[in-house]
Amino acid sequence: MLNIVLHEPEIPANTGNIGRTCVAAGARLHLIEPLGFQINEKQLKRAGLDYWDKLDVTTYVNFEDFLAKNPGAKIYMATTKARKKYTDVKFEDDAYIMFGKESAGIPEEILVDYKDTSIRIPMFPDIRSLNLGNSVAIVLYEALRQNDFPGLEEAGNLHRLSWDM
């Protein structure tokens, strides 16, 4: 199972949206405090809709607590400061993919220890970053694609029309 890690997320609607994406993708969500909101906040629940109770979510008091409770985790750091693209790595099926807070990203004092597993989403140079929820969806679904979408429904079904017509 893939793992999404949010380091000090600030905007409840982003975290709610990411929670919903994690439920749809079968991923776990890890939240590293301090959070910019309360877990029970209305905006968080609204963005996660009725999926929040289905979410496998764990909260940690800080990054050191996260590391202590997930020993040996292979952590990819999604950051605009990385040299490798997210498509340049092969994500393990139990990888941890960490994203930083909306206003500042992942602190450089953490990134220096993860130079080899830091990844970026390419974009025009004059753009600071993408929305956090969009970034998570892009990288998470690439990791799922690389692992052949384990356990996910890959084909839909039209009720009124047949594809075989």
Q: Is position 152 within any domain?
A: no
**Looking at the 3D structure of the chain, how many domains does it have?**
1
pLDDT > 80? residue 49:
no
Distance CA 7, CA 44 (A): 16
Q: Is position 93 within any domain?
A: yes
* pLDDT: which is higher, 129 or 7: 7
Q: Is position 151 within any domain?
A: no
The confidence score (pLDDT) of residue 161 equals 61
- Encode pLDDT of 100-117 as tens digits: 999 999 999 999 999 999
Q: Is 129 annotated among the ligand-binding residues?
A: yes
- Encode pLDDT of 54-101 as tens digits: 889 999 999 999 999 999 999 999 999 999 999 999 999 999 999 999
pLDDT > 70? residue 45:
no
Q: Is 19 annotated among the ligand-binding residues?
A: no
Q: Is position 160 within any domain?
A: no
Domain membership of residue 20 as a residue range: 3-146
- What single string gives the DSSP state of each residue in the chain? --EEEEES---HHHHHHHHHHHHHHT-EEEEESPPSS-TT-HHHHHHHGGGGGG--EEEESSHHHHHHHSTT--EEEE-TT-SEEGGGS---TT-EEEE-BTTTBS-HHHHGGGGGGEEE----TT-----HHHHHHHHHHHHHHHTT-TT-------SSS-TT-
Closest by Cα among 62, 90, 87, 86 to 74: 90
Distance CA 42, CA 32 (A): 20
Q: What is the pTM of this model?
A: 0.90
Indicate which CATH number applies to the domain containing 28. 3.40.1280.10
Q: Is 118 annotated among the ligand-binding residues?
A: no
The arithmetic mean of pLDDT across residues 32-51, rounded, is 72
Confirm if 63 and 111 have CB atoms less than 8 A apart. no
